[in-house]
Chains A and B, each alone.
Chain A
Amino acid sequence: MFFRYLSRELRRRSKQALVVSLGLAVGIGLVVAVSAMATGVQRAQGTVLHSLYGVGTDITVTRAAPEGPARGRFQVGAGNDRQRISRDRVLTSPGQASFDASEADTIAKLDGVSGAVGGLDLSLIHLNGKLPRFTLPSQGAASSGASTAQSSVAVTPGQINVSTSSVSGIDTSNVSIGPLSATELAHGRTFTVSDAKRDVAILDAQFANQKGLAVGDSITIDGTSFTVVGITSPPVQGAGSDIYLPLAKAQALAGVKGRINTVYVKATSSESIATAKRAIMQADPKATVSTSSDLAKQVTGSLSSASNLATKLGTWLSIAALVTAIALATLLTLAAVGRRVREIGTLKAIGWRTRRVVGQVMGETLVLGLIGGALGIGLGIAGAWVVTKVAPSLEATVSSAGGFVGPSGSGPGGNPFSRTIAVALHASVTPALVVTAVGLSLAGGAIAGLFGGWRAARMRPADAIRQVV
């Protein structure tokens, strides 16, 4: 009787039922789409963060450098003759101080820390080309006077190309933490413990492609030839270093033997990240300790804008739509119950308990809520699909001066002080989101039903007769 009566009532008021269901569907659809987008943005952030400082890394520890020039400088020949040059200079990342490598071992023993490895992030600047040529006047002409001689110097313009690459020194004893852990090996092999003192390198696939290098080839950095043993792909475009070297080799290139500028820390669990951060800050007050959530705050660019859009505007828009839909459903239910005074009064007159009548009204709105929820989930999935299809690739820019130490610089002309990464937005509807949407739609139906039921409960059986007197 309950379901027969319920289905017939809904069919009788099909237009109103449709309005209520569609209203709830729009509200639920918005919640699903916006939440899917927020999840997508969150995942994009996670991808960016992990790609920047490793899947296995929960915390990075750095130290801010005192003001001053970056270590390393070019020593171009002082001669003024035209000359070809091809020089490399390896610099530690500006703004970041190096510290003793033993710090990683100290941190590894702290509370909440599962493992810690040291890393050295460097910038490799390569100059290649011809210096300008200054042609001095002939001897005879020179004797005619200094002023004349000065004006007769001929200058032939040179051409110098500058390219910047990023280099990461990797602790080969543990590659599961740190920047190499975020990458996927495309060819060759990764580092092993025995590589610690070898002249071997792993290259980023795009970088290797640009330079025409493959596994087995050699790359010369500042006069040292490294054998390419592996080619890796970063999880997202623009992430990762161009060149990975064993830590000791990177230290030697930069002239900072036994020193590192980043400690990559893995916490014992996600819950212990805060504990580990506190312990590190206590052990080393000078350190800048950044967790992934700290880093998320430093991310700027369209990814950050999308995150703000999804979490602020999107959330409020969803709440507003949902509240409006539930209010609409409630008002329409109240109006419908109001029109059924005689019917409800009659049922009460013939002995239906108030609880049963309220249950009948609530059952109707719950079914409308479920229909609205199902439609809303469909709308939300469609919305998420559209967002994924039309959303432009998001860009995340992380400043290395903000406490984060990542591989700095990216290819020729890259800014060595920050890193911009492009990541696609995949708005995904998770099972948890579907469950939430069903819950919300049922809650919407229940709220409308409670108000409708409350009105029905207040009706007295005498109303059934009074209507006709």
Chain B
Amino acid sequence: MYELNDVTKRYGNGRGSVEALAGVDLTVGDGEFVAIQGPTGQGKSTLLQLLGGMDRQTSGTVTYDGRELGALSEGELTRLRAHEFGFVFQTFNLIPTLSSLENVETALVPLGVHGSERRRRAEEALAEVGLTQRAAHLPGELSGGEQQRTAIARALVKGPRVVLADEPTGNLGQETRDEIVGLLEKLWTTHGVTLIVVTHDDLVATRAARRMRLEAGRVLEDLPMGA
């Protein structure tokens, strides 16, 4: 599914520039559950952005399903994000003025799904993460775990091929963390999506089929589960 060759990413120019990725080579297969670990500021989120078509590499190639993401136009990348990628963020990134249900619906807007169909699919997604009763609540009225479940429903409602999660348990307490990890694992199993999670959390990482460690912009370890 993904093939990265000698990928570098540099922010800024000249002396003040920062090299977030320094020659990453990586292959991710269809339906894999990959956990990317490593210290803060070592390029994990940058790697996730490149995989999600949200940013472009400075050099090297990021190939998704045979398409070089760096060579695609903004419009093509936007379409790819709308149809094939689901995102889960550490801070949930819900629209504060929209209800839980409406937040899930936002993911269907770029797909051109309208009215009752959009609502029905959003309700189904919320039911799947166990939030039917909280559908009408605004994010500010939800707990951290409920907000993240809403975000997961938003990522899944479009039926993506890949779910990219950036520290999905980073802002959650112990109990909620277990609940979210369990939910992600269940969805990976039932939906057959490719799940790539950036995390500090060993609990999350140990559930992944494959773990890799990123330090100083390089993949230091890439170990399958149980290795």
Q: Are B154's CB and A4's CB within 8 A?
A: no
Distance, CA A50 to CA B107, complexed state (A): 67
B108 to chain A, nearest CB (A): 9
Q: Are A351's CB and B78's CB within 8 A?
A: yes
User: Is B82 in contact with chain A by the CB < 8 A criterion?
Assistant: yes
B79 to chain A, nearest CB (A): 7
Task: Give the residues from 1 to 55 in chain B that come closer than 8 angstroms, CB to CB, to chain A.
Answer: 40-41, 45, 48-49, 52, 54-55
Q: Which residues of B are found within 8 Å of A467, using beta-carbon distances? A: 91
- Which one of B95-103, B142-150, B199-207 is at the A interface? B95-103
Given A1-B105, A1-B106, A465-B45; A350-B54 close (CB under 8 Å) = no
B125 to chain A, nearest CB (A): 13
Q: Is the interface of A mostly helix, strand, loop or mixed?
A: helix
Given A12-B97, A461-B81; A342-B91 close (CB under 8 Å) = yes
Task: Give the residues from 59 to 87 in chain B that come closer than 8 angstroms, CB to CB, to chain A.
Answer: 74-75, 78-79, 81-83, 86-87
Q: Which residues of B are found within 8 Å of A343, using beta-carbon distances? A: 93, 95-96
List the A residue with the shortest CB-CB distance to B82: A351
Distance, CA A350 to CA B96, complexed state (A): 16
Q: Are B55's CB and A460's CB within 8 A?
A: yes
Given A5-B95, A11-B97, A469-B45; A460-B54 close (CB under 8 Å) = yes
Q: Are A1's CB and B102's CB within 8 A?
A: yes
Q: Are A465's CB and B166's CB within 8 A?
A: yes
B200 to chain A, nearest CB (A): 12
B contact residues, range: 35 or more
Encoded as 1 (CB less than 8 Å from any B CB) or 0, chain A from 84 to 124 comes to: 00000000000000000000000000000000000000000
Q: Are B45's CB and A466's CB within 8 A?
A: yes
A340 to chain B, nearest CB (A): 9
Q: Which residues of B are found within 8 Å of A8, using beta-carbon distances? A: 97-98
Distance, CA A467 to CA B87, complexed state (A): 15
User: Is A81 in contact with chain B by the CB < 8 A criterion?
Assistant: no
B135 to chain A, nearest CB (A): 14
Interface centre among B78, B86, B111, B154 (most CB of A within 10 A): B78
Task: Give the residues from 411 to 469 in chain A that come closer than 8 angstroms, CB to CB, to chain B.
Answer: 460-462, 464-469
Q: Which residues of B are found within 8 Å of A11, using beta-carbon distances? A: 97
User: Is A316 in contact with chain B by the CB < 8 A criterion?
Assistant: no
Q: Which residues of B are found within 8 Å of A465, using beta-carbon distances? A: 45, 48-49, 54, 89, 166
Given contacts A1-B109, A4-B102, A9-B97, list 16 more A-B pairs with CB under 8 A. A1-B118, A5-B102, A8-B97, A11-B97, A346-B87, A347-B95, A349-B87, A351-B158, A353-B75, A353-B78, A354-B78, A356-B109, A356-B110, A464-B54, A464-B93, A466-B45
Q: Are A462's CB and B49's CB within 8 A?
A: yes
Distance, CA A347 to CA B48, complexed state (A): 17
User: Is B132 in contact with chain A by the CB < 8 A criterion?
Assistant: no
Listed by A's residue number, 26 A-B pairs whose Cβ atoms lie within 8 Å are: A4-B98, A4-B102, A346-B93, A346-B95, A347-B106, A349-B52, A349-B54, A349-B81, A350-B106, A350-B107, A350-B154, A351-B82, A351-B83, A351-B107, A351-B158, A352-B110, A356-B109, A356-B110, A460-B54, A461-B52, A461-B54, A462-B49, A466-B49, A467-B91, A468-B90, A469-B40
Q: Which residues of B are found within 8 Å of A346, using beta-carbon distances? A: 87, 89, 93, 95
Q: Which residues of A are found within 8 Å of B96, using beta-carbon distances? A: 12, 343
Encoded as 1 (CB less than 8 Å from any B CB) or 0, chain A from 116 to 158 comes to: 0000000000000000000000000000000000000000000
Q: Which residues of A are found within 8 Å of B110, using beta-carbon distances? A: 350-353, 356
User: Is A348 in contact with chain B by the CB < 8 A criterion?
Assistant: yes
Task: List the 4 closest pairs (A to B, CB-CB), nearest first.
Answer: A351-B82, A8-B97, A351-B110, A346-B93
A344 to chain B, nearest CB (A): 10
